[in-house]
Structures are given as structure tokens and as C-alpha cells.
Amino acid sequence: MTSEIIMAGFGGQGVMLIGQLLTYAGMLENKQVSWIPSYGPEMRGGTANCSVIVSDEPIGAPIVTEPTALVAMNLPSLDKFEPMVQPGGVIIINSSLIERTVARSDVKVYQIPANDVAAELGNSKVANMVVLGALIAATGTVNSQSVNKAFAKMFAQKPDLLEINERAIERGASYIKC
């Protein structure tokens, strides 16, 4: 199986980080993985996005042009990437910030009020983890333990963050299950 995922949002919404976590988790599951940001003039203040591939096969082009899943943290991202998603793919929408849904009927769409959930959890910064939880639940790209392990590795110096992030992932996942 090959998951090709685009994660996009405003700079500061943490899409680069969840992309890296997902990649790391894939690596921990002994899958082939790659992460690549789109960098550029829009870096400053504008939108940011990254491509993540998690696969059982060696990875060819790391830049995802036909994603199997899209995480859209804000409206411009949804506008830009929605048309590229493969039929049968998954779109995770941060419904806290994006009012519209998706017109296409050939994709699975999940609306996750990520900022609201994060606020509930008491830390507005974990909105990205909420959508990550939703994403892995919706796609099965990796399992949540791997993400937690990845988080523990990447933030080895900040073990206190672990718990809230785990909970954010769970809460995100719960939107898919129900």
C-alpha cells in the first residue's frame, strides 16, 4: 500500500510537524517514507504544505501531485488541493476554520473541528495533532502507537507534552470512528 498525503495550512498551524510525525511513524513501522515541504516565497506568513509518502515499496517521486489523502487546515489549502485528490481518496477538513465542505462525491470527507477540540483539551496548539489523529484513523497509514512513539522520539526533551498530544490524536481519531 502507498499513502500519498498532502498536508496544508497557514504557516504556524503545524502542518510541517504533523507531516514529519507521520513520516517518522511510518519509518518506525519499517515502511518506506519521505517528507518534502513546499518551500518558497509564500513561506513568510502565507500558506505552507508538505508531501508525505508512506509505502511498502521504494518511493519514486517524493512530491505528491495526486494525493490519496489531503489534510486542509485552512480554506486556501482546501481550494488549492481539493481537485488533485485521487478518486476514492480522503480529505480531512479543519471545520473550525473552514466553513464549506467538499463538492466532489468521489472522495471521503471528514470535517474535524480541530481548533475547538484543541481548545477543549486546553491547548490551542494541538489542533494539528487532532487532524493527524483523524487522518491516520481514516486512512490507516500508520497506527496511533507509532505516532506516539515518533512524538516521544522527536520531543525527547519535552516528555510532558506527550500526554496531551496522545489525547489530541485520540480525539481526532474518534471523529472517524463515530
Partner 1 sequence: MAEKILMKGNEAIGEAAIVAGCRRYFGYPITPQTELTEYMAKRMPQVGGVFLQAESEVAAINMVYGAAGTGVRVMTSSSSPGISLKQEGISYIAGAELPCVIVNIMRGGPGLGGIQPGQADYFQATKGGGHGDYRNIVLAPNSVQEIVDMTIQAFDLADQYRNPVMLLGDGALGQMMEPVEFKATDTVPSIKAWAANGMRGRTQPNIINSLHLQPEKLEQHNIHLQQKYAAIQKNETRWEELYTEDADLILVAYGITSRIARSAMEKARSESYKVGLIRPQTLWPFPAAPFAKYAKTAKAFLAVELSAGQMVEDVRLAVNGVRPVAFYGRTGGMIPSPKAVYEQIVKTLKERGGN
Partner 2 sequence: MAEKLFSRPQSLKDVAFHYCPGCHHGIIHRLVAEVIDELDVRDKTIGVAPVGCSVLAYEYFNCDMFEAAHGRAPAVATGIKRSQPDTVVFTYQGDGDLAAIGCAEIVHAAARGEKITTIFVNNAIYGMTGGQMAPTSLIEQVTNTSPYGRNADSAGMPIRMSEMLATLDGASFIARVAVNNPANMAKAKAAIKKAFEIQINGHGFSMVEILSTCPTNWGMSPLEAAAWLEQKMIPYYPLGQFKAPEGVAK
Tell me which residues touch partner 2 (CB under 8 A).
41, 44-45
Name the percent of the chain in helix, strand, coil, to the closest 5: 45, 20, 35
Shortest CB 79 distance to partner 1, Å: 17
Residue placing its CB nearer to partner 2 in the complex, 44 or 177: 44
Shortest CB 76 distance to partner 2, Å: 16
Site for partner 1 contains 39 (CB under 8 A): yes
Please report, for residues 36, 68, 117, 121, 122, the alpha-carbon distance to residue 81 in angstroms, rounded to integers and kept in the order given. 16, 11, 24, 29, 30
| Closest listed residue to residue 69, CA positions, set 56, 57, 81 | 81
Residue placing its CB nearer to partner 2 in the complex, 40 or 58: 40
Q: Which does 11 bind (CB under 5 to 8 A by kind): partner 2, partner 1, none?
A: none
Site for partner 1 contains 1 (CB under 8 A): no
- Binders of partner 1 among residues 66 to 85 (CB under 8 A) are 66
Quote the CA–CA distance of 38 and 49 in Å, as a whole number.
6
Quote the CA–CA distance of 20 and 18 in Å, as a whole number.
5
Phi and psi for 53 in degrees, rounded to 5?
-125, 130
Stretch that binds partner 1, among 28-36, 71-79, 122-130, 131-139 (CB under 8 A): 28-36
Size of the site for partner 1 (CB under 8 A): 19
Residue placing its CB nearer to partner 1 in the complex, 18 or 109: 18
Q: Which amino acid is at 123?
A: N
